[in-house]
Amino acid sequence: MTLYIGREASKLWKRICSETTTEINLLLDNWKYLLAGLIFQYIHGLSARGVHYLHRPGPTLQDLGFYILPELGQDKGYISETVFTCVFLSFVLWTFHPFIFKSKKIYTVLVWCRVLSFLVASQALRIITFYSTQLPGPNYHCREGSKLARLPKPHSALEVLLINFPRGVIYGCGDLIFSSHMIFTLVFVLTYQKYGTRSSCIKYFAWLVAIVQSLLIVASRKHYTVDVVVAWYTVNLVVFFLDKKLPELPDRSSGNLPMLLPLSTKDKDGRTKEENHKLLNGNSVDPADWV
């Protein structure tokens, strides 16, 4: 038993080392895209902080979802945040599963490049919408009488740039007409729908969680129903069109992966010469020979 555990531990360690080397090479080629996506996450937070200064509380707008769904109350607002946290963490862990499990279909760096591109496009549209029209926030801390409904004028630019994370994000107001939580949730679910290797039951469950998350957001009065509806069709359209434009991710289960990985100029030149040599001799080019 001890020998078996030791052998499996050794295999796992070799797998982790091999995967780490591969991902580091991919990171060196794609770090600019990842950095740009992460920087835009800050820009998105900064924009949400900025629109809070423009927010003016007022009567809550008439909303069909508020009539249909029972109000959870201010003390139960944590429920939707808990569901979102579970979705976020489970997706992050899934993207790192190639380091542990044998059934590897994705490369962590490449899938995050794709995810960040979806997020950036959706968040850019979100920024445009909530700066175009400011609505009175339905959340409890955004209503008239709350000290957080209006932000006093900043004393310095640094006060705005720091965005008071995470309190400034949790207690933001004015960033409406598009639900930020639904952007993340739908991008994660759509990505897992395409690249997940587990049974369809888990994928159906992911969509069910996304629906529950939508209802909880409205029931918690964190967004109007239109914010959730807009997120549902806009994110799906963004992912659909971007997915057509972006190069397809290499499928690790196909067996012809090396030809899809980024190659250095030297490797490309060597490969081209070898291809020409084989073609001149009447031989076909086997992708396995490129390794």
- Give the residue numbers annotated as catalytic, written as ranges: 181, 223, 227
Cβ–Cβ under 8 Å, residues 109 and 27: yes
* CA–CA separation, 221 and 39 (whole Å): 29
* CA–CA separation, 137 and 159 (whole Å): 23
Residues 6+ positions from 13 with CB-CB distance below 8 Å: none
Q: Is 145 left (phi over 0), alpha (psi -120 to 50) or beta?
A: left
Tell me, rounded to whole angstroms, the distance of Cα 26 from its chain centroid. 19
Tell me, rounded to whole angstroms, the distance of Cα 13 from its chain centroid. 28
Residues 6+ positions from 71 with CB-CB distance below 8 Å: 219, 221
Nearest CA to 54 out of 154, 124, 121, 140 is that of 154
**Tokens standing for residue 107:** 């490369």
User: Which residue spans within 4-65 are E strands per DSSP?
Assistant: none
* CA–CA separation, 110 and 189 (whole Å): 17
Cβ–Cβ under 8 Å, residues 56 and 134: yes
CA neighbours within 13 Å on the CB side: how many for 115?
28
- Radius of gyration of the chain from its Cα atoms, rounded to whole angstroms: 24
